Structure 1
Amino acid sequence: MPQHDCPIHRNATLEAALCPAPSEVSQMTTLDYLEKLLAFDTTSAHPNADLIAWMQAQLVAMGAKVQIIENAKGSKANLFATIGPGDRGGVMLSGHTDVVPVAGQIWTVPAFAMTRKDGKVYGRGSADMKGFVAAMLSAAKKASGQNLRTPLHLALSYDEEIGCIGVRSMIDMLSAAPHLPLMCVVGEPTGLAVATGHKGKMAARARFTGRAGHSALAPFAVNALYLANDFITILRDVQADLQASGGQDADYDVPYTTLHVGRISGGGALNIVPHHCELDFEIRNLAQDDPQEILQRLKRAAQQIADTARTDAPEASVEIEVFNTYPGLDTPPGAAVVGFVKSLTGANGSYKVAYGTEGGLFNQRLGVPTVVCGPGDMAQGHKPDEFVSESQLTACDVMLSNLVVRLVEGV
């Protein structure tokens, strides 16, 4: 195995943990890796630099070529690692390092530590999706001791939970690379079933401006909350129309494009007619429905709301701003990547998942065929006492061990 110096890390107190001895690396199991990963509080609002530094040290000790892509502040980073020959495509395993918050949740076990009980592994991110990340490290260790004909790539990103933000800079890096991966497996929890698609997402903010006034003279003012309510009515009407006559895909639990309002704020005192209100809404679209067309439909309706309000208050307005978007994934069931991953898991069928992933970006921006397949159940994610079963982690290790065998043979 090639020898590498341990990289310099910002947090000196982590140096001992971040510079593993070869014997330590050889003894680590997926559960050992997961225990380390769960101890890092990588809630999206926090940095992930320490976790990335730890993973970098582990992978460098295995002989991997590691590239770090930092954000502008240096507080967060993506990691891209390669084991095997660098002059050909390879198979890419992708996961995210951030987790959702635990604030306001009631946990019976420590959120940022590993607890093993009754065949389950508890901790924030155990299912979504540090369990798969731990299995990625185990697979990398297995691959590092083999003479791979096809390389293994590991792609770890930040801020996936808030809109697949971090992975975009890694995609920019890969787009300039001489060789793209042949295929990608995103390890979000699917119970190790092979998922071929997910909906796209557009997140937008609508701002409503009316005219303030005394509540005793409310008819002489323009209530911005009422403007927002009119817009919500439009959203619900469009949703009903899409449900009735929009695209349909029975592979999804909700087989049509959905619209949703997730946040609204406005007003300051009961005796004042509020002049400002804003709400956040999203569009989760099927591949056959164009989110831009839906957005334009909403903008036209918003303009009509504003025009009506201007008869009483010329300053009234409705403004809509898109602040995040990512494409859906719609890999054909007959694609080579689908058959390949099925051969690793022994699965027969495929399905589509309700949540979004970076897979749509890898496919749309790089043209890399992608599926979603990982241990655990998303029903356990984002909630107190999140867990993944040990049996799922074992099955994932088997899947990725099968992958390493195929990489030795040459994909």
Structure 2
Amino acid sequence: MPSINFIHDKSYSIQKNSTIQTQEKVQNSIVNRILKKNKFVRWVNRLTHSPRYKVLPAEEVQNLPRYKPKDYAFKYPTTWIPKNDIHPRAKELEDSFVNWGTKLGFIKEEKSEAMSREMGLDVYVGYPLADCDYKKILHFGKYAALWLFWDDFEVENYKEVSWSREMFSKYFTTRGEYDETSFYSYDGAFDDPRITLDMLNVNNVSPICLAWIELFDEMAKERSEKWVKRIANEMKFWMFSSIEENKIAKTFERTGKHPTFGQYFKIRKYTIGMIPCLSYIENIINFEIDPQILKNPTLKRIRDLACILVALTNDAFSFWKDIHNNWVNSINAVARTNHVNYEESFKRITIYHNELVQEFDKLANCLPNWDQETNYAIKKWLQCTREMIRGFAEFAAKANRYTKNKIVTRDDFVLEFSLDYN
């Protein structure tokens, strides 16, 4: 099993040993401990990387050289590619979502429509569900796009969370109905989420909440009540995780203190939102997996790997966006924790990602035998999961929201990730 320890291994650093030793001596000095408490010094520390890098529009750097692009390739086996590279009707999804949002009222101005169209819904859903029935892909498209829309519009831009009491009581459960068994794959990323309900503004029903309710009503027509409750609880857990990530981002913005890679991924593997997506695959394959089966340690690890893999590629391709918004990011975590530059941090992230891809396939071949129907369904679920992981990477690599700007080094080399298949 690959470990994140290599991310902290000084042998990967491009800095000279003498420089490292000097840094360690300074860090351990009394003066340095005093300086760490100084607010001005912390503020200056936030800017330590900025003189060496700049964010420029992609069209302005087309002719600039790329910095060792082979070092920054996220690799996937060709078996992770679906029959259709992208869904043949993917282009229809964007207009469908905008029309739906306009009808329900959560898209009501040019800015919100522009945000919706910038999401790149055709690639956001078209790659992960390339072989899916169009009715399913349209529902998932609304589900995923509404989620992304709310995350951008409410969480990251305005840095506040607003959900209605009706939303919680109908689908995300009430405090008295909190279902511990729903969190079969969670390891306690933070304290009991029920406490966080008091932080929420639950006075009004927003159009976004009404949209969520409509989507869950549609799910309930085809799936069992138990399944709907499970995926709703997972969405609830994602929202509480987002609140926690928001706190971390605010701390970083205020003090320049970025969490370590381990601290960051304790919450990031949930805020990436793959847990509800993995459950949604059960709707796509029309088979509800028994929660007891999902508790299998190997399957739990596979689900964790799916979350981490998608988070890594999302953080990588959205890095310039997170830098611009003072948002926490795994690349920043590695760079700041280990005192390495972004070039080295990029490399460590891709190495880690590629090792996890290999682990995924190895574990997929080590699952126990259940009954014939379950075995067949798990096999389909695993393949859909592979395609979804790879599809979200393709989305991140091609969507305008992530490609419109680039990180450029002081020497005018472009830091850019790519995808590679073998």
- Whether TM exceeds 0.5 here: the answer is no
Instruction: Judging by fraction of residues, say which structure has more helix.
Output: 2
Considering Cα pairs closer than 8 Å and 6+ residues apart, tell me whether 1 or 2 has the greater RCO: 2
Instruction: Judging by fraction of residues, say which structure has more strand.
Output: 1
Greater Rg by CA: 1
TM-score (norm 1): 0.20
